[in-house]
């Protein structure tokens, strides 16, 4: 590279991805080998066994850690596997966690059903309100965990402010950066101690790979995560690492279009009589708009709204779109929509994270935006069909 400090787009394509020195191939090969020959017992070239380290995984880890402005990165088999490792690395029995009032249902389930029974206490607190955080604070509080923008309410947390508040009390701040991606927001540079991702979403970007990632700058924390990754073994396959890496190369251009399409969709929904309220940080009336403007490059591709017709109308509407697919997940080229209370956030029902059943979440994709708006318009305008409204749809607990 040149003497200039490379920009995001350049790093996304080149960081950790030098051409193969043996063949000149412009892409590093995908290393499928599970094990590595040693010249003498214990003497090797940096790789012993693919659970503990793999060159393709390493390449992704360098690429994404650099994009996050972090010293160290670790790729996992899913977002939840990355979260699990981070929770284990940061907390032990007797410690206390503060989880923001809005978060992915699976994150809540991991904390509530897997970590809490091992002796980790937690409370839900509104991280956009420092008084609320202070009121829930305990001497044993070690971690504040936030998503910003959050899933599914698109809430915004001031990362710099909460990092300062958390550090002043001797605890650490984790930011789930899945919705923003490092192209739109870099939490480590704003003071967060760790970033976590579901790379299944925008980073992979094509609905064809499940993966997770965490990035940190403290070498002791990094050592602990590396130990846990090897000891518990939730590693991604080399092919999956390659797919995430390939997705990241086009992240900047995809995110620009996701943001543009989402802003247009949010504007359309704001004027629709069947929409009671639009949740999108790019709207001037959003409570986190000014903070988002400060800490994000743009406002992202996710839009949620409250259906004016109530739960039955929301459930009917998500069934009626033709381009937006009714499906869990988000962040890929194709537009998706879902009903969080019955789908992605079913695990949080009856908790403080329970989602309003009027809520519909859109992952605005890269199709022609006029087609997307026309699709939403016809689904929102659909005449009520009383017979179809009461049928329960996929309220399974696995989302
Ligand atoms: O699905 P997985 O790769 O394990 O990632 C979990 C996860 C973590 N953090 C956030 C903010 C997420 O949105 C997710 C996964 N979310 C969905 C599948 C969804 O549809 O919301």
Say how many Å lie between the CA of residue 259 and the centre of ligand 1: 19
The finding on whether 236 has its CB within 6 A of some atom of ligand 1 is no
Report if pTM > 0.85: yes
For domain 252-380, the CATH class is alpha beta
Say how many Å lie between the CA of residue 329 and the centre of ligand 1: 7
The finding on whether 155 has its CB within 6 A of some atom of ligand 1 is no
Test site for ligand 1: of 79, 202, 210, 396, most ligand atoms within 8 A of the Cβ: 79
The pLDDT score that the predictor gives to residue 384 is 54
pLDDT digits (tens, 9 = 90+) for 148-194: 999 999 999 999 999 999 999 999 999 999 999 999 999 999 999 99
User: In angstroms, rounded to a whole number, what is the distance separating the alpha carbons of residues 259 and 318?
Assistant: 22
- Judged against a pLDDT cut of 80, whether residue 389 lies above it is answered with no
- Judged against a pLDDT cut of 70, whether residue 390 lies above it is answered with no
- Judged against a pLDDT cut of 80, whether residue 391 lies above it is answered with no
In contact, 10 and 1? CB cutoff 8 Å = yes
The finding on whether 100 has its CB within 6 A of some atom of ligand 1 is no
- Residue nearest atom 12 in ligand 1 by C-alpha distance: 104
SS3 342: coil
Q: Is the peptide bond before 149 cis (omega within 30 degrees of 0)?
A: yes
**Could you tell me which of 104, 220, 196 has the C-alpha nearest to residue 155?**
104
Say how many Å lie between the CA of residue 111 and the centre of ligand 1: 14
**Could you tell me which of 91, 104, 97 has the C-alpha nearest to residue 133?**
97
363 Cα nearest atom in ligand 1: 20
The finding on whether 178 has its CB within 6 A of some atom of ligand 1 is yes
pLDDT digits (tens, 9 = 90+) for 276-289: 999 999 999 999 99
The finding on whether 196 has its CB within 6 A of some atom of ligand 1 is no
- Residue nearest atom 17 in ligand 1 by C-alpha distance: 329
- Residue nearest atom 1 in ligand 1 by C-alpha distance: 79
**Could you tell me which of 246, 264, 254 has the C-alpha nearest to residue 184?**
254
Please state the φ and ψ torsions of residue 68, each to the nearest 5 degrees.
Answer: -85, -5
Say how many Å lie between the CA of residue 176 and the centre of ligand 1: 10
Say how many Å lie between the CA of residue 79 and the centre of ligand 1: 6
Angle between helices 369-380 and 311-320 (to 10 degrees): 140
pLDDT band at 397 (very low <50, low <70, confident <90, very high): very low
The pLDDT score that the predictor gives to residue 2 is 65
**Could you tell me which of 146, 373, 194 has the C-alpha nearest to residue 266?**
373
The finding on whether 248 has its CB within 6 A of some atom of ligand 1 is no
pLDDT band at 4 (very low <50, low <70, confident <90, very high): confident
User: In angstroms, rounded to a whole number, what is the distance separating the alpha carbons of residues 380 and 143?
Assistant: 41
pLDDT band at 393 (very low <50, low <70, confident <90, very high): very low
The finding on whether 141 has its CB within 6 A of some atom of ligand 1 is no
Q: What does the mean pLDDT of the chain come to? A: 95
Q: Spell out a b/e string for 151-189, using b for 16 or more CB atoms within 10 Å of the CB, else e.
A: bbbbbbbbbbbbbebbeeeebbbbbbbbbbbbbbbbbbe
The finding on whether 125 has its CB within 6 A of some atom of ligand 1 is no
Sequence ranges of the domains in the chain: 8-249, 252-380
pLDDT digits (tens, 9 = 90+) for 302-354: 999 999 999 999 999 999 999 999 999 999 999 999 999 999 999 999 999 99
83 Cα nearest atom in ligand 1: 8
- Residue nearest atom 20 in ligand 1 by C-alpha distance: 329
Catalytic residues, by residue number, are: 51, 104, 176, 201
Say how many Å lie between the CA of residue 126 and the centre of ligand 1: 20
Say how many Å lie between the CA of residue 297 and the centre of ligand 1: 22
Q: In the predicted model, what is the mean pLDDT of residues 56-65?
A: 98
Which CATH fold topology does 8-249 show?
3.40.640
């Amino acid at each position: 590279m040149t003497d200039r400090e490379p920009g995001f787009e350049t790093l996304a394509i080149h960081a950790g991805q030098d051409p193969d020195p043996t063949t000149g191939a412009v892409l590093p090969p995908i290393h499928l080998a599970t094990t590595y020959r040693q010249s003498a017992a214990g003497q090797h070239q940096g790789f012993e066994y693919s659970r503990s380290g793999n060159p393709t995984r390493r390449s992704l880890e360098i690429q994404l850690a650099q994009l996050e402005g972090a010293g160290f990165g670790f790729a996992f088999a899913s977002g939840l596997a990355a979260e699990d490792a981070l929770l284990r690395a940061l907390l032990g029995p007797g410690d206390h966690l503060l989880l923001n009032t809005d978060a992915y249902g699976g994150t809540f389930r991991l904390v509530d059903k897997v970590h809490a029974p091992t002796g980790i206490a937690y409370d839900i607190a509104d991280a956009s309100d420092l008084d609320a955080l202070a009121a829930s604070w305990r001497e044993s509080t070690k971690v504040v965990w936030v998503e910003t923008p959050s899933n599914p309410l698109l809430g915004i947390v001031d990362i710099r402010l909460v990092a300062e508040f958390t550090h002043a009390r001797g605890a650490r701040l984790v930011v789930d950066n899945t919705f923003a991606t490092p192209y739109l927001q870099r939490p480590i540079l704003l003071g967060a101690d760790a970033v976590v991702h579901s790379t299944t979403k925008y980073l992979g970007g094509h609905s064809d790979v499940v993966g997770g990632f965490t990035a940190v700058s403290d070498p002791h924390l990094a050592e602990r995560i590396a130990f846990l990754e090897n000891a518990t073994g939730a590693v991604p396959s080399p092919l999956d690492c390659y797919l995430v890496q390939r997705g990241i190369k086009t992240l900047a251009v995809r995110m620009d279009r996701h943001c543009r399409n989402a802003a247009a969709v949010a504007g359309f929904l704001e004027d629709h009589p069947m929409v009671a309220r639009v949740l999108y940080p790019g709207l001037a009336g959003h409570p986190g708009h000014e903070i988002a403007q400060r800490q994000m490059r743009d406002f992202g591709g996710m839009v949620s709204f409250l259906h004016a017709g109530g739960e039955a109308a929301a459930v009917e509407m998500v069934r009626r779109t033709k381009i937006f697919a009714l499906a869990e997940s988000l962040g890929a080229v194709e537009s998706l929509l879902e009903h969080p209370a019955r789908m992605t956030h079913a695990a949080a029902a009856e908790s403080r994270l329970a989602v309003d059943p009027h809520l519909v979440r859109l992952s605005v994709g890269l199709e022609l935006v006029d087609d997307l708006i026309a699709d939403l318009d016809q689904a929102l305008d659909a005449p009520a069909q009383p017979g179809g409204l009461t049928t329960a749809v996929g309220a399974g607990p696995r989302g």
